[in-house]
Structure 1
Amino acid sequence: MQRYSYENLLDFSTRLLAAAGLPQDRAGLVASLFLEADLLGYSTHGLQRLPTNVEWLLNGETRRDGTHRVVASGRSCETWDAAFLPGPWITALAVDRACEMAEEAGIGTVAVRRAQHVACLASYLERATRRGMMIMITASTPTEAVVVPHGGLTRVFSCNPIAAGIPTDRDPMLIDTTAAMSAQGPLNRSYRLGRKLTVPMIVTGDGQVSDEPADFVERGGGILPVGGMEQGYKGFSLALLTEALSGALGGFGRSGQSGDSEANGVFVQAIDPDHFAGRETFTREMGWLADQCRASATAPGHAPVRVPGDRALALKRDQLENGVMLAATIADDIRPWVARLGIPFPEPGMPSQT
């Protein structure tokens, strides 16, 4: 791990995406969302995504220009067809639009189909919570099948992340999880580094549970749903729910899909507490609840309870002040595009203070 100035990484990433053909304003927003993932500690979905996104822009898999088409709309809901626009850019727009509708009607919902890969859902949460909104986001990849249903061995689902941002009277709660026992990023990183998985989360073709990432990457094993072999019905249920929200609602489900596109279906819903019992009441209640959790007794030798978002926001503050931590493998993956597009990669370290 080496630390880099946030500003230097943002400038570099923006310039690299722009050199690949993305308009400057879109490049800046996409770069900031990738970096937000790194700031919050989701390093497999941050700048790690730059090389793939640059390649998609150059070969035309990601649409550089134009905007989405509104397929259906109502007072508090819209369905968009993104037609392979950059996933982070269109998802940020969907969050903003959902918040606008929630301010007007109490709830705003946007279903997006055919968004290019949206990366880390946690990156979008503070975009809503800073406006006092509660936000929920989920996504699926209809052409991707890597997760098995509970009791099965056949891959059916994508990993289907689920995220929520909940404002409190202090820091927001930031939830980012998945219906599967793991996203693909950590699995692929463990495979690349020759490491076993932290827990057995792969089921092999003969029904054995494995902690070897090669059983997934090389031998076609499936990722178990949350709950594993014993209680995987929990993750299985969440996978079905997220498919309904991010796929079927927007008309971008699994039936009839083919190819290897990473285009996502995305569901975004914003809720304005002012239209219910009031924002002050809501944030005070959730802040009190968070404090009760943190104050919970723990077993001897165990760390205090953390509320979702505590670690991520502390890490973000540290990295903004002291530099963003990047693994050498991430920089190595980016460097071929540095050479090809002529955008210099920043040097490690923070700018000197004068």
Structure 2
Amino acid sequence: MPRLAHDKLTDLVAGMLTRVGAAPEVAHQVAVDLVEANLQGHDSHGMQLVPRYVENTEKGLITPNAMAEQVGGAGSLAVWDGHMGYGQWTGRQVTAAGIAAAREHGLACFGLRNTHHLGRIGAYAEMAVEAGMIGLFFVNAVSGAPVVSPFGGTDGRMGTNPICIGIPKAPAPIILDFATSAIAVGKVKVAFNAGKPVPAGALVTHEGAPSTDAAVMYGQGPRGALLSFGGHKGYGLALVCEILAGALTGGGTNEPKNPNNRGIVNGMLGFVLDPARLAETPGFGQEVQAICDHVQASAPGRVLLPGDPERRAKAERMTQGIPLDDVTWGDLSACATRLGIAEREIRAALV
């Protein structure tokens, strides 16, 4: 399994995106966020997506240099249209605007519709906590055939619909970032590429039978579906994401009348809250630390906080390189070659 240097990999991906029309600053930001996903151990949201981003741009499903436009709301409430720009670009733009509004008003709410794949939603929570804010994000995905079955169902009716919450805390914030499906669909693809099973309870076949075989989703036969995590609880959260991030923002849900052949289309509803406007300072921070210490004391060294696994993965991969399965590296290399990038430049990313 090859390992890649994060900085060289960023340069490679940015170079690929500029070749399909992205401005250098846009290409760099998208590349940084994709590589960061791999650094933090979320391989489902990193390099395996790059060929798809390139293909969607070439097909005109992405407007590579689109900026988000505010199309509704005022003051601390805003609705934005991403005009199908790269989500890592439009998502950061609207989150920054939300942070600025929260500084002024104490609380801001914003909706973003019609944007390409937002990537790892934890990136926007990280923006909030770096500004001393609490961030809460609901996301839906309308892209291709729905992949997540409702509780009690047997076929895909919704997207993986992540929820993310960021809370500032020294020295490292709490970043709770999870798909409402049992696992992200991209992780099924990573498992399929590597020839590995997925965890039990994550998939069903097209007949509704439990399966751990990633080919249920990516093989040649009839397609199965992902399950929600936690049974009816995850299903309920996924449905709420469809409503808040899709219906409320105007971006649409996975109901049949809405087209799902426009690439990876996301909607997001975000809230940014300045805790200093609501809680006592420094009492809030002290109480956050106290409860975190309390829960971790249950089994010191074994009980982690949300965000700890990602920080551990990043520390290891920054020094040892990012591991990519052979299929993902082969697809990335082939795509770069097709775009006219020299083999020496591609191989320069290898550790």
State the TM-score, normalized to the length of structure 2.
0.90
Q: Of 265, 270, 278, which residue of structure 2 is paired with 1:268? A: 270
Aligned counterparts of 1:316 and 1:43: Cα–Cα separation in 2:
12
Range moving further from structure 2, 179-188 or 249-258: 249-258
Count of aligned pairs between the two proteins:
342
Distance in structure 2 (CA, Å) of the matches to 1:236 and 1:121? 19
Question: What SS class does the counterpart of residue 296 from structure 1 fall into?
Answer: coil
The aligned runs of 1:291-302 (5 Å cut-off) are 291-297=293-299
Secondary structure, counterpart of 1:141 in structure 2: strand
The 8 Å contact of residues 2 and 348 in structure 1, kept in 2 or not, is answered as no
1:327 maps to 325
1:6 correspondence with 2:1: no
Counterparts of 2:84 and 2:55, CA distance in 1: 14
Contact 2:201/2:227, CA 8 A, preserved across alignment = no
Contact 2:163 2:179 in 1 (8 A): yes
- Letter of the 1:140 partner, please give it: N
Counterpart code for 2:222: R
Q: Could you report, residue by residue, the CA deviation over 1:277-332 in whole angstroms, capped at 9, with x for unpaired residues?
A: 1453333222222222221138xxxx611111112112223333443333333221
In the alignment, is the contact (CA less than 8 A) between 2:68 and 2:93 conserved in 1? no
Aligned to 1:339: 337
2:210 and 2:279 map into 1 onto residues whose CA distance is 47
Report if the CA contact (8 A) 1:94-1:110 is conserved.
Answer: yes
1:135 aligns with 2:138: no
**Corresponding position: 1:82 with 2:86:** no
Q: Which segment drifts farther, 78-87 or 323-332?
A: 323-332
Supply the AA of the counterpart residue of 1:248: A
- Residue 345 of structure 1 aligns to a residue whose secondary structure is helix
Q: CA contact under 8 A between 1:168 and 1:282: conserved in structure 2? A: no
| Aligned counterpart, 1:308 | 306
1:24 match: 24
Q: 1:287 to 1:321 in 2, by over 3 A?
A: farther
Aligned residue for 1:53?
53
Structure 1 residues 67 and 314, CA, compared in 2 at 3 Å: closer, same or farther?
same
Aligned twin of 1:281: 283
Residue deviations 1:161-220 (CA, integer Å, cap 9, x gap): 111211112201111111111211111222333322221322334432222223333322
Equivalent AA in structure 1 for residue 11 of structure 2: D
Contact (CA 8 Å) 2:138, 2:241: kept in 1 or not? yes
Partner of 1:238 in structure 2? 237
The answer for the alignment partner of 1:36 in structure 2 is: 36
Change (3 A) 1:17 1:135: same
The residue identity in structure 2 corresponding to 1:347 is A
Give the letter aligned to residue 249 of structure 1: L
**1:109, 1:282 → 2: CA distance?**
22
Which residue does the alignment assign to 1:68? 68
CA pair 64-244 structure 1, distance change in 2 beyond 3 A = same
Question: Match for residue 185 of structure 1?
Answer: 186
Structure 2 counterparts to residues 89-238 of structure 1, below 5 A: 89-143=89-143, 144-217=145-218, 218-227=221-230, 232-238=231-237
> What do the CA deviations read for 1:194-248 (whole angstroms, capped 9, x no partner)?
3222213223344322222233333222211112xxxx11011101211122111
- The answer to whether the Cα contact below 8 Å between 1:29 and 1:89 also exists between their aligned partners in 2 is yes
Q: Alpha carbons of 1:310 and 1:160: their partners in 2 closer, same or farther (altered >3 Å)?
A: same
User: 2 CA distance for matches of 1:64 and 1:348?
Assistant: 24
Query: What SS is found at the alignment partner of 1:151?
Result: coil
Distance change (3 Å), C-alpha of 1:339 and 1:348: closer
CA distance in 1, matches of 2:152, 2:55: 38
Partner of 2:249: 250
Runs (5+) with no aligned partner, structure 2: none
Residue identity opposite 1:277 in structure 2: A
Share of identical aligned residues, percent? 28
The AA in structure 2 aligned to 1:276 is L
Q: Which residue type is aligned with residue 91 of structure 2? A: T
Structure 1 counterpart of 2:294, which letter? Q
Q: Per the alignment, in what secondary structure is the counterpart of residue 28 of structure 1?
A: helix
Asked whether the 8 Å contact 1:106–1:275 carries over to 2, the reply is: yes
